[in-house]
Amino acid sequence: MDYDLLIEKAKEAREKAYVKYSNFKVGAALLAKSGKIYTGCNVENASYGATICAERVAFTKAISEGERDFEAIAIVSSGKEIAYPCGICRQFMSEFGLDLKLIFTDDNKIETYKLYELLPHAFTEFEPKVEGGS
């Protein structure tokens, strides 16, 4: 797929951000393997812990519509440099596959990574080993 459309959708989403406190806008566009694109923007809150990042907004919209398999996500910000996902977003996205392609741009350059490159030791589902247990 040509990721230019995904980047454009992320830029459109960025303009809808609610950033009353930081004035730092982020937009994300998530491509599901079904071909559908889900967008998200950051939504801040006076109780900073209640703030939600653009990446998680896009994912929760997609998940609430039944999507579970994803190909790529484009992420753009209003900053002068590329903004990478926070740790919570990296962990959240890992639930749906460490092979997810991440696309970033600051309008001057485009960088792409696989999620496992940004989160090399992700906490993933595992079966705990019980020694000598019943």
Domain extents in the chain: 4-118
Helices assigned H by DSSP within 21-111 = 54-64, 87-94
Q: Looking at residue 36, what is its pLDDT? A: 98
Is 109's pLDDT higher than 70?
Answer: yes
| Mean pLDDT across 23-44 | 98
Q: Is-contact 97 71, C-beta < 8 A?
A: no
Is 127 marked active-site? no
Angstrom distance (rounded) from CA 86 to CA 48: 14
Angstrom distance (rounded) from CA 38 to CA 36: 7
Q: Establish whether 74 is an annotated binding residue.
A: no
Residue 22 or 121, more confident:
22
Q: Establish whether 53 is an annotated binding residue.
A: yes
Yes or no: domain 4-118 corresponds to CATH 1.20.1250.20: no
Q: Establish whether 89 is an annotated binding residue.
A: yes
Coil, helix or strand at residue 49: helix
Identified catalytic residue from 55, 65, 127, 131: 55
